[in-house]
Amino acid sequence: MSRHLRLSLCAALLAGTALTSTQAADLPSAKTAPILTQWSPWMIRGRALFVIPQESAKLKLGGAPILGGDVDISNSVVPELDITYFFTRNIAVELVLGVTPHNVKGSGTLAGARIGSAWLLPPTLMLQYHFTDLGAFKPYVGVGVNYTVFFNEKAKGGFTNFDLKDSFGLALQVGFDYMIDKNWGINFDVKKVFLEPKVKVNNGLITGKVKIDPWMIGTGVTYRF
């Protein structure tokens, strides 16, 4: 074999080795390949909830308006649980669960009268939009419907009967989650519920509507699955 032929073969072998090394370097390494985490659509929150009614009433005694007659409804602080399901990273529905106790007294021309007490079960279903481009800070807004069930109603102050009728109401919401890590965060949430049930006292001797319209202010812990 001539000297020139040997040199040509060596050059070809060196070029092939360099090309193979370059192609291998371009291939992704199994050790450095990104690991894709599975996105979960579920979130739960536990909150301490402050319920602050913005009450007023239109009452009648035997069919005649009680001029200046109004009511005063106590505030309440209760635990609350909500469950959220995300259809997309921005659109979600939230179911809010909890119960709240309240006392009802007269005000205005009924001032000093103890009327009754009741427990409220107000499940609320919210359709939400979540903003996702602000890092750990994740604000949201919502609109939904509330259905309040009144139970364990008790008449007080000499009245013999106190009855509030279950009713629907519109609910509006604004809040945020601040995520500490991918699972845990803190939450602050404000809802306004528009609620105006019918009321009967002493088996219909006193009738009317009570506008409750509570602010519901909650703070607590978020867990994202």
Going by C-alpha positions, the residue among 76, 102, 215 that lies closest to residue 156 is 102
Q: Please state, rounded to an integer, the average pLDDT across all residues of the chain.
A: 88
Is the predicted pLDDT of residue 138 greater than 70, yes or no?
Answer: yes
pLDDT of residue 24: 45
Task: List, for residues 46-96, the tens digit of each pLDDT value.
Answer: 999 999 999 999 999 999 999 999 999 999 999 999 999 999 999 999 999
User: Please, which pLDDT band fits residue 9 given cuts at 50, 70 and 90?
Assistant: very low
- Look up residue 20 and give its two tokens: 């193979």
Of the chain, the percentage scoring pLDDT greater than 90 comes to 81
Matching residue, tokens 């000499």: 158
Q: Are 183 and 223 in contact (CB under 8 A)?
A: yes
Going by C-alpha positions, the residue among 125, 104, 100, 124 that lies closest to residue 50 is 100
Among the four given CATH numbers 3.30.450.20, 1.10.3720.10, 3.30.390.50, 2.40.160.20, the one describing domain 42-224: 2.40.160.20
Which phi-psi region, left, alpha or beta, contains residue 203 (left: φ > 0; alpha: ψ -120 to 50)? left
How much is the pTM? 0.80
